[in-house]
Amino acid sequence: MNARSINLKGLAKLALLLLVLTLIILVNSTELRQVTWLRILFGVSALNFTVRATVPLVLGALSGILCERTGIINIGIEGMMLAGAFAAFTAKVATNSWPLLASLLFGVLLASLLFGVAVALLVGALMGLLHGLMSIRYRMDQIISGTVLIILAAGITAYLFDRNAIAEGKFSQISIPLLSDIPVIGDILFTNAPITFAALILVFVLQVALFRSRWGLRTRACGEHPRAADTVGIKVNRYRYVNTMLGGMVAALAGAYLVLEAVGQFQEGMTAGRGFISLAAMIFGNWNPVGALGAAALFGYTQALQNELLLAGFVNIPRQFVAMLPYVVTIIAVAGLVGKVRAPAAEGKVYQTEGGE
């Protein structure tokens, strides 16, 4: 009976997905496009916006998952993201016209963009290392340590930011052969810039790695019951350092995305709370990569909706209320989940072998 009800649920989900997909294709390729509310809900512009808004959120959530699954709370995603954005920007500006060997291979622009990404990843790893040191080596409260990262990144980037610097160019879109020919969907999903593709691929790679690889099994054991992991010879704190650094890199990639793919420039505080919404997406997705993608897409979609509603002037309530939409949805989503999702049991707790159980 159980198996059947799961099947029914799965079928219902599949049917809903197909329905939405058909609607999307119909709305964008037939006369239905004249219906304002359908266009707001399913129009290409809303969906493109959703994808753009989802990428940094899902990367942020993956960063959180990497850290928390091994037992380290990471509320510093916002700071890691901002540091990554700034690093990407600075590296990009420094190499706007960089005659490098790589430039001969890819062209100056691409080489400089890739260099930006690499530097962002490096800075992200350092932010992760810092978080690891504070919370593992110095046994600081992990919430405080995360807050330190946020304040640190905000302060340093504002101080070092050169307002006259300009990054020239950003990642351009790539169309995936065949898949991008699917009407409407191909445009939205399969014609995008590289970091967007990387983010989507990363979600599925991490999902498999976390639940089906050796690294994933050990990571989860460290986050659930570090003592048990220790007694079978797993170096708990080493896993925690490595995963926190990986988490920092993924968050920094979100920052690089904002600068090198979405906006093209850096602005002070440009992450604008995305790190926190990522945390909500991580929780809403029950610390699963695919779940987090769904949650991030939901939050991204509400942002798109807010945008479309404001543009269309469709509603005549004060725009401030419309602007609240994504945040209200976030709060409701997370509050409604209390007791339904389960955080890794040992997160936030220092582990020492000889500290007893």
Partner 1 sequence: MSDQPVPVLEARNITKQFPGVIANQNINLKLYPGEILALLGENGAGKSTLMNIIYGLYHPTEGEILVNGQVVRMNTPRDAIALGIGMVHQHFQLVPVMTVAENIMLGSETVRNGLLDVRKVAEQVTELSQRYQLDVDPYAIIEDLPVGMRQRVEIIKTLYRNANILILDEPTAVLTPQEIEGLFQVMELLRGQGKSIIFITHKLKEVLRIADRINVLRGGRVAGEANPKTSTQAQLASMMVGREVILTVEKEEARPAERVLEVKGLSARNDLGGPALHDVSFEVCAGEIVGVAGVQGNGQTELVEVLTGLRKADHGQITLNGSDMTNAGPRRITQEGLSCHIPEDRHAHGMVVSYSVADNLVLNTYNQKPFARGININQPAIIEHAKELIKRFDVRTPGPNTHAGSLSGGNQQKMVVARELSRPLKLLIAAQPTRGIDVGSIEFIHNQIVRKRDDGVAVLLVSSELDEIMALSDRIVVMYKGEIIGTVPAAEATRESIGLLMAGVHADAQPPAPDASAPGS
* Least spacing, CB of residue 227 vs ligand ATP, in Å: 11
Among 3, 338, 339, 354, binds ligand ATP (CB under 6 A): 354
**Residue 31 binds ligand ATP, judged by CB under 6 A:** no
* 177 lies in the site for ligand ATP, by CB under 6 A: no
DSSP 176-190: PTTGGGSTTHHHHHS
Using CB under 8 A, pick the residue from 110, 122, 234, 333 that binds partner 1.
234
Using alpha carbons, list the distances in angstroms from residue 269 to 23, 153, 154.
Answer: 37, 9, 7
On the 0-12 / 13-18 / 19+ scale of CB atoms within 10 A, 65 is buried
Measured CA to CA, the distance from residue 221 to residue 352 in angstroms comes to 15
Q: Quick one: which segment of 62-70, 143-151, 213-221, 245-253 binds partner 1 (CB under 8 A)?
A: 213-221
* Cα–Cα distance for residue pair 192/172, rounded to 1 Å: 8
Given the complex with partner 1, which of 19 and 228 has the nearer CB atom? 228
If the CB atoms of residues 319 and 349 are measured against partner 1, the closer one turns out to be 349
Reference 333, options 274, 288, 287, 282; nearest CA is 282
Least gap, CB of 73 to partner 1 (angstroms) = 15
Neighbours of 234 (CB within 10 A): 16
**Tokens of residue 279, six digits:** 């945390």
User: Please, which residue, 177 or 356, has the CB nearer to partner 1?
Assistant: 356
Q: Closest approach of Cβ 73 to ligand ATP, in Å?
A: 24
From the list partner 1, ligand ATP, none, pick the one residue 214 interacts with, judged by a Cβ distance below 5 to 8 Å according to partner type: partner 1
Give 102's contacts (C-beta < 8 A, 6+ positions apart). Answer: 111, 114, 115
Partner from ligand ATP, partner 1, none contacting 220, C-beta within 5 to 8 A by type: partner 1
Indicate the residue among 9 and 349 with the shorter CB distance to ligand ATP.
349
